[in-house]
Every structure is written in C-alpha cells, then in structure tokens.
Structure 1
C-alpha cells in the first residue's frame, strides 16, 4: 500500500491556531487513524530554536535560529497510507479544507509527496 508524507508550510508569526481547528483536527486525525490512513505525525515548534546544517562545496556549516529571512517554515508533518494516489490527494484536500474553514486568516501550503517503497537490503 503506497505511503505518503504530508507537510504543512506556514508563514511564521501567524500566532496559534484557534481551538476550533485543534478540535476539528483531533476528529479528522482520529477518523483517518481508524481507517489506517494516518500512521504518525504532529506539529513542530517555530524556527526560534531550529538548527540547520548547510552543506556547500564539501563544507558543513551549522546555522542556528531564529532566521530573520525565513518567511515560511514547515509547521507539521504526517506519514500517511492510502490504497491509491487519488485517495491520498483527496485526504490532503480535506486536511487543507479544515484549515480554510476553521482558521481562514491562516496562510499555508499543504504538500503531499509519495514515499518510495524500499527494497529490502540484500544480505
């Protein structure tokens, strides 16, 4: 069964979501988990404590937050499983619709990407 990663990118500094969105998400995620679609996921803290390791031309540089230049950040993630790509897309649409309904002033992008099936390592 195909697996997918859902990501939420949001503008920093929008404040906390309203309780109505938390309540709707609890219901939605509970239903998705019961159906075997939601495997794991959650929200992320803001960029103020983030740490990036940047690799350029064979050199690694550590860059600690906060990041004044950051306009968007990944705010949450989910590991999902659906029978088809079309079902996964419909699920991600429902997720985005919940945000539009319960937090209309929010600016976000809900991204869905398929996780490749891994072949077992040969012994």
Structure 2
C-alpha cells in the first residue's frame, strides 16, 4: 500500500537543521524494514510559491509568501508499506529523529493512504 507523509513545520523557523539530523534522515530512508520511500522531497518556502484558487467562479493567483500561513507543508514523502502499522512505524521513526536531533522544532506529520492512481502505470 502507498501512503503519503505530509510534513508540517513552522515556516518562521530560520535556522538550518542540525547536520546529525540530515545524516539520520538519510539512514532512516535507506532502512526498509517498515517502508520503502518511493518519492521524497523537501519543499521551497512559501515565498517561492504561487497559490492558485477558485472562489465565486473566478480563478485567482497569489504569489507567496502568504501572511496568514505559519504552519505549512514543508515536505512530503510517498512511501510503500505492507500494512498501516508499518507505515505508522516508519513515520514515527521519522518524527523521533527530529525530536532527538532538533528538540526545539515542532514537527507534525500527517499520514494518509493513497486512494488510487491517475495513470494506468
């Protein structure tokens, strides 16, 4: 089963992640006991984003940053796991790394099973 892990962070944190965290994340991604990372990506800040929205039948585009945004999706990973429990264990390990290496940063993840595919692949 495929799951998307959405990683929510406070966009106002300006410090760089500790080097130990980056190394630990690479090791976690390489360890496939619970899940295999299919796609992983960090995201640029909302200052480099464009919001496209439809309201009242009109399409509007707004360049970032977005003043009302504090907590944003800072990254995502698409993982492959045999069970929901394995997906949770993998995600828990990812969050544990942040708590260990960067205790001052609040990280919230959202784990959601992928419902289907838009392609025939």
Matched, 1:89 2:113: no
Equivalent in the alignment of 2:57: 58
Provide Cα deviations, 1:33-85, integer angstroms capped at 9, x if missing partner: x8761111111111111100011122110010111221111111101011111
In 2: Cα distance, 1:119 partner to 1:65 partner: 28
What is the CA-CA distance between 1:21 and the residue it aligns to?
Answer: 0.6
C-alpha distance after superposition, 1:21-41 (max 9, x if no partner) = 101001111123x87611111
**Counterparts of residues 1-123 of structure 1 (less than 5 Å):** 2-14=1-13, 15-32=15-32, 37-118=36-117
How many residues align structurally?
A: 119
Q: Which segments of 5 or more consecutive residues in structure 1 lack a partner in the other structure?
A: none
1:81-112 Cα deviation digits (max 9, x unpaired): 11111111111111110110011010121110
* Counterpart-to-counterpart distance in 1, 2:49 and 2:119: 33
Q: Per-residue deviation at 1:8? A: 0.4
- Paired with 1:81 and 1:117, the residues of 2 have a C-alpha distance of 13
Unaligned 5+ segments in structure 2 are none
TM-score by length of 2: 0.89
